[in-house]
């Protein structure tokens, strides 16, 4: 690639955090400076890397150790472009705000922070007249944020649904294929660099919850915070659940679902939720393996779009970060600006109780005449329509038989009432799982 259009004045780049993703970003920056220079139109100079521990070996990142500093606050004041890959809320937020105050554009992969305090970051970037880019924050390497912010800016998004957490997809996929337990597979996902620093964020669904908030905000031009997204993770999923779902010809996936919905008074609202979901094996989401992500975006004009690729891991995530870096750097060169916040619609977030979907409920019942009728009556009373009921063989130890009831679409509130009433039946031992279904 030619360097003829590159001036000699470098743009100063500060990297905050040199962990899984940061070290891959650093390596690429120091290994291929001429490529970046040619693509941006000006050289990029890595002026510092903020770390927590100066003595930690980092040879694999190919870094000149004199670039390392524990003074992240000082580093952001002498940069044109700041890459934040520390993660978490603080000190990441203060460092990003300080970067904006000092006139730097910011690239981050920090979905936790964007989901909690995105509007504040947008506002600060806008006041400073600089860019805020975050392609890595949702679905790793997959170009999804830029299409949502820019390519689809003239269309109307109806629904965004998909797998946005690599760790849990890796775990569920392994549980499905090998019958392994959740805890065994989590350690492997951590080793491969997919999990968050605290993997509870992955398995409890909070990482996907923050990503759903980001996607819903972009899709519906509305401020949706992480706390607006209802969330259920995969920690309660057992190998029994996986087996039951297999027998149904389905697979279990942790899905983020963001929808534009009609409220009871006919006005538009937004719903956003994350939960384990039963998906038929014939559905494209069922074949998403390991730490891959896949997101369907349904719009008024484009119809259905599918985004697929590596959703986590050092190098795939670095690809998204570096793409953003080049974009932010080009803007510095040309004087252009990236898109700011678009939250003009301000649609209300509907309560989970009003959201409608389908369910599979697994209960253990006494194997006696009249029990199925009594269970069915509960559904009739609460207005939840049954699609099928499958009873398994009575167990010898407790004399109970597993019963799986699949429903037609019903409101979450009605379903919760149904489950409550099932728990009160003498003939029902336990309600062992309640799972939502999509694409059936
Ligand atoms: N690992 C992945 O696959 C993906 C990660 N992300 C996001 O990218 C960010 C970084 O993730 P990872 O690299 O996986 O995390 P990591 O935990 O491997 O790296 C974070 C690094 O920041 C350092 N750090 C913490 N506080 C610091 C401070 N005050 N000053 C300087 N350094 C500090 C830590 O010592 C650690 O080396 C997070 O926001 C994460 O959510 C986004 C997409 C994918
Ligand atoms: N922990 C996250 C990393 C990428 O966002 C995941 O597993 O998806
Ligand atoms: Na992405």
Three state DSSP letters for the chain: CCCCCCCCCCEEEEEECCCHHHHHHHHHHHHCHHHHHHHHCCCEEEEEEECCCCCCCCHHHCCCHHHEECCHHHHHCCCCEEEECCCCCCCHHHHHHHHHHCCCEEEECCHHHHHHHHHHHHHHHHHHCCCEECHHHCCCCCCCHHHHHHHCCCCCEEEEEEECCHHHHHHHHHHHHHCCCHHHHHHHHHHCCCCCCCCHHHHCCHHHHHHHHHHHHHHHCCCCCHHHCEECCCCCCCHHHHHHHHHCCEEEEEEEEEEEEECCCCCEEEEEEEEEEEEECCCHHHHCCCCEEEEEEEECCCEEEEEEEECCCHHHHHHHHHHHHHHHHHHHHHCCCCCCCCCCCCCCECCHHHCEEEEEEEEEEECCCCHHHHHHHHHHHHCCCEEEEEECCCCCCCCEEEEEEEECCEEHHHHHHHHHHHHCCCCEEEEEEEEEECCC
Q: Assess whether 174 carries a catalytic annotation.
A: no
Q: Return the domain boundaries, the chain.
A: 3-141+315-334, 145-311, 355-437
Indicate whether residue 17 lines ligand 1 (CB < 6 A). Answer: yes
Indicate whether residue 364 lines ligand 2 (CB < 6 A). Answer: no
Residues flanking ion ligand 3, Cβ below 5 Å: 135, 139, 142, 144, 320
pLDDT at 62: 82
Ligand 1 pocket test: pick from 109, 192, 319 the residue with the most ligand atoms within 8 Å of its Cβ: 109
Indicate whether residue 22 lines ligand 1 (CB < 6 A). Answer: yes
**Ligand 1 nearest-atom number relative to CA 88:** 39
Query: How far does residue 138's CA lie from ligand 3's centre (Å)?
Result: 5
Query: How far does residue 293's CA lie from ligand 2's centre (Å)?
Result: 10
pLDDT at 57: 86
> Which top CATH class is 355-437?
alpha beta
Indicate whether residue 162 lines ligand 2 (CB < 6 A). Answer: no
> Which residue minimizes the CA distance to atom 44 of ligand 1?
312
**Ligand 2 nearest-atom number relative to CA 138:** 5
Per-residue confidence of the chain (440 residues) as pLDDT tens digits? 344 444 679 999 999 999 999 999 999 999 999 999 999 999 999 999 999 999 998 877 788 999 999 999 999 999 999 999 999 999 999 999 999 999 999 999 999 999 999 999 999 999 999 999 999 999 999 999 999 999 999 999 999 999 999 999 999 999 999 998 898 899 999 999 999 999 999 999 999 999 999 999 999 999 999 999 999 999 999 988 999 899 999 999 999 999 999 998 999 999 999 999 999 999 999 999 999 999 999 999 999 999 999 999 999 999 999 999 999 999 999 999 999 999 999 999 999 999 999 999 999 999 999 999 999 999 999 999 999 999 989 988 888 999 999 999 999 999 999 999 999 999 999 999 999 999 87
Indicate whether residue 194 lines ligand 2 (CB < 6 A). Answer: yes
Q: Which CATH superfamily is domain 3-141+315-334 in?
A: NAD(P)-binding Rossmann-like Domain (3.40.50.720)
Indicate whether residue 91 lines ligand 1 (CB < 6 A). Answer: yes
Query: How far does residue 124's CA lie from ligand 2's centre (Å)?
Result: 26
Domain at 145-311, CATH from 3.30.360.10, 1.10.760.10, 3.30.479.10, 3.30.70.870 = 3.30.360.10
Query: How far does residue 194's CA lie from ligand 2's centre (Å)?
Result: 5
Which residues are documented as binding site for NADPH?
111
Ligand 2 pocket test: pick from 171, 197, 202, 289 the residue with the most ligand atoms within 8 Å of its Cβ: 202
Ligand 2 pocket test: pick from 21, 108, 138, 140 the residue with the most ligand atoms within 8 Å of its Cβ: 140
Nearest ligand for residue 311 CA: 2
Indicate whether residue 86 lines ligand 1 (CB < 6 A). Answer: yes
């Amino acid at each position: 690639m030619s360097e003829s259009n590159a001036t000699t004045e470098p743009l100063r780049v500060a990297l905050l955090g040199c962990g899984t993703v940061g070290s891959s970003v650093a390596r690429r920056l120091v290994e291929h400076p001429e490529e970046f220079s040619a693509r941006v139109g000006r050289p990029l100079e890595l002026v510092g890397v903020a770390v927590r521990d100066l003595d930690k070996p980092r040879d694999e990142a190919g870094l000149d150790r004199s670039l390392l500093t524990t003074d992240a606050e000082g580093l952001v004041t002498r940069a044109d472009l700041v890459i934040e890959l520390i993660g978490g809320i603080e000190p990441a937020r203060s460092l990003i705000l300080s970067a904006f105050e000092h006139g730097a554009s910011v690239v981050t992969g920090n979905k936790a922070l964007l989901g909690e305090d995105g509007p504040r970051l947008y506002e600060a970037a806008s006041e400073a007249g600089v860019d805020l880019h975050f392609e890595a924050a949702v679905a790793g390497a997959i170009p999804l944020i830029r299409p949502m912010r820019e390519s689809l800016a003239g269309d109307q998004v109806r629904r965004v649904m998909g797998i946005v957490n690599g760790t849990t997809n890796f775990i569920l996929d392994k549980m499905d294929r090998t019958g392994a337990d959740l805890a065994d597979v989590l350690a492997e996902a951590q080793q491969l660099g997919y999990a968050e620093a605290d993997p509870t964020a992955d398995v409890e669904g909070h990482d996907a919850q923050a990503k759903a908030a980001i996607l819903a905000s972009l899709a519906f031009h509305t401020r949706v915070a992480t706390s607006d997204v209802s969330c259920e993770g995969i920690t309660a999923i057992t190998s029994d659940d996986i087996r039951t779902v297999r027998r149904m010809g389905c697979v279990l996936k942790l899905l983020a679902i963001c929808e534009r919905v009609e409220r009871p008074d006919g006005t538009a609202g937004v719903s956003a939720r994350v939960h384990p979901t039963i998906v038929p094996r014939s559905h494209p989401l069922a074949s998403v393996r390991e730490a891959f992500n896949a997101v369907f975006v349904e719009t008024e004009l484009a119809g259905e779009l599918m985004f697929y690729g590596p959703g986590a891991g050092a190098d795939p995530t670095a690809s998204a970060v570096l793409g953003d870096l080049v974009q932010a750097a080009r803007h510095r060169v040309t004087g252009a600006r990236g898109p700011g916040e678009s939250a003009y619609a301000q649609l209300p977030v509907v309560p989970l109780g009003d959201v409608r979907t389908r369910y599979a409920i697994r209960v253990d019942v006494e194997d006696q005449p009249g029990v199925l009728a009594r269970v069915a009556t509960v559904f009739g009373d609460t207005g939840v329509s049954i699609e099928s009921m499958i009873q398994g063989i009575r167990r010898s130890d407790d004399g109970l038989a597993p019963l799986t009831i699949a429903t037609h679409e019903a409101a979450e509130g009605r379903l919760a009432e149904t489950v409550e009433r099932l728990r009160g039946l003498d003939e029902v031992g336990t309600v062992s799982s309640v799972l939502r279904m999509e694409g059936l």
